[in-house]
Each structure stands twice: as structure tokens, then as C-alpha cells.
Structure 1
Amino acid sequence: MSAEELAVDPPAAARRLLGATLRSGPVSARLVEVEAYGGDPAGPWHDPAAHSGRGRTPRNAAMFGPPGHLYCYLSYGMHTCVNVISGPDGVASGVLLRSAEIIAGREVARARRPTARGTDDLARGPGNLGSALGIGLADYGTDLFDPESEIRLELGPPVDPDLIAVGPRVGVSAEADRPWRVWLRDSRAVSAYRRSPRAPRIRKPA
């Protein structure tokens, strides 16, 4: 398995990441919910909701790099959100890791997430996932397929499409209804859907 498997369009990359194992030091997690994002207007997948939606900046430069690297940022100034870069090198896109099941290092994850109500809550939600795995801004740009990396990604076999659910993205006001969030139907660690109050209302059929 290599990073080139992620050099595809954002929704395809998101589906490929489902069921993958993310290892960060003593903690390992199975990815059960992810959310795809595109890039700038010059690219093939313009996405106003993406950090790269208006073009390259020092902050989002990793999103334009080769697939299989980390793009990390702070949400609300305190929660580290973890993204895996996808698409061909030079074309901005990425996949936000929304939720995971901790499969190794649970005691370490619990120590990092003392307010978690149970095992299913340890890495439920993007900020909690980053905390449980001990990933921070210093890990920005990490090559997840480098065997020497402290943080590594292991892709498993593609998940059966019948086991995957698809829905709108969480918390974004632009392109909120783009069906680029995918999750494993049978996982109890999937986060709750929360629509941004700034997103346009869904029009009901007349």
C-alpha cells in the first residue's frame, strides 16, 4: 500500500481512508469517519469550504503537496484537526479525519482524553481524534508512509460500499450539502451530525 492510492479525487480518497489504521507512537486507531475537501479555483475540485479554496498560503501549503502527508490546523484555537493530503502532487485536496476507534494504546488515549465518557468517545470528533493520538501542529507535513515517521498510515483493503454511509459535511457554511462525508455504518464511534447555522437552509420540495 502506498500514498499513490490517495492520488485520486477527494471523495475516492475519503472512501479509501475508511478502515485504515493510523499509528501515532503507542496509540493506534481505525478510521471510521472522514470528510473530503477540494481546493482552489485553478484545480479540478474547487471547494469554497476548503482551507485551500482561495489559493495557496503559508498555512495551507501542505494541501498542495504530495498525497499521504499530514495537514494539521487548530480549530477554535485549541483543538488540532488532522487531515491527510490527497490528489496528485501540486493539486490541492485533502481528507479531514473525523472519528476513529482506538485499537491500541487505550490507556494512553484515556490519559489524554480524561473527559471521554467511554472507549467509543476517545477519538469521536476531529479535535478528540487529534488529542487521543497526541498529534499537534508540530506534526504538520509528516510523511505518513515513511517507515521512519512517528505517525504512520496503513491502508487496508477497500471497504465494501454497502458498509459505507454518505452524507453532508459538518460545520461548514459553504457547500455544506456536498455529500463528501463518509463513515462506517456499523461503528459506534462515528460523530453526531451538526449542520452549521450559517449554512443555507435545505429547501423542501413544493
Structure 2
Amino acid sequence: MHRIALIVPALIATCVAAQAQAQTVNPNDTGQGRLEIAGRAPPACVLNAPTASGGQNATFTGIGATSGEIRITEFGDPQTAQPRGAAINLALPVICNSAHKLTVTSANGGLLRDGGNARNRQSPTGFGEFVGYQISANWAGQSASVQTINSNVLAIASADGGAGDMGLTITVPPGGGPLVAGRYADTVTVQFEAAF
């Protein structure tokens, strides 16, 4: 019984093969269709959690997926009441798949004392409540830097996409005049905007 089951399909296959060889195919009898597959990748920029790559008199602590806090270890010199220099270097992983613009914005334009007035700037003759600092950024082969007392926005435009670490450095200069005691703060916002 097994022998018959094996022989019969072999005979049928041989007969079908013989019939296929005997037939000729007319090219006009062949149907043809075409399928197109299309999709769209929208322009987007993704910014991930920053990490500190170095610092002087400053530390960085990540808070959540895309935020963090820079803390100046010793902001005011206890002997002179003047600010001590501080710097922090951050690396922010970024992917942008189209032309885009990077902006880094200082909310106050400098470090402002809680409850203070930004017009009370540092001077050698009086106590200040506001300290400007420098923001520097490196991204997609470009570099830019601003002094926050001159401009609170740093911008870099890129005509292409880019991926990698954006370098961000915050530098607070030492000296400049004594400060009123208190907590000094600012909020820096880093934004990548894809071109549409």
C-alpha cells in the first residue's frame, strides 16, 4: 500500500511535466500588475536625557527623561560675597531626521536672586541680585555662544538632519561685585524644532 501511494504521485508529476513541455506560452496571454508601496516619515527631532561630561564647582542631576538640575557647589565666596566661577559640560543625545533649528533659551537672562530685581546688576560699588553667564553649544558641526546679559537666546540652524550628542556648556564667571544673600536661579530650555 505504501508503494502504490509513492508511485502514483510520481506518475502524475511525470505526466504533468510532459504536458507542460508540449505547450508553448504566448507572451500576449501573460497578465502583469504593478504594486507601489509608499510611506511617509514625518520630520522629527528626539532629545534624550542629558548627562554631565565634566564640570568645575558645579554638578548635574538628571530629573526625568529630558530634564535636570545644575547646582553650583559654592556660588558665593563667604569672604568677598562675590560669585565664584563655575562651569558644567553636558552631552544631550539628539536625533533629527530633517533640517532643523536648535534654540537654547535663558528664562531670566542670567542668575536672578529669588525675589530680586534683574536691574540690580553686579557692580564693584554695590550689591547685585543678578549674574549673567555664558551659554555655548556645539551641534552638527556648528558652534555658537552667547552672554546671557546680551542675549538670552542661542540659535543654530542646520540644513540637514543630524544624530549624536549636542554639547552644551554653562559658564558662570567669577567676581564682578558682591551679591545680596539668597538663592539665585535660572531656567535654561533646549529646543530642537524640525522643519516641516
> If the length of structure 2 is used for normalisation, what is the TM-score?
0.23
Larger strand fraction of residues: 2
> If the length of structure 1 is used for normalisation, what is the TM-score?
0.22
Structure with max Cα Rg: 2
Larger helix fraction of residues: 1
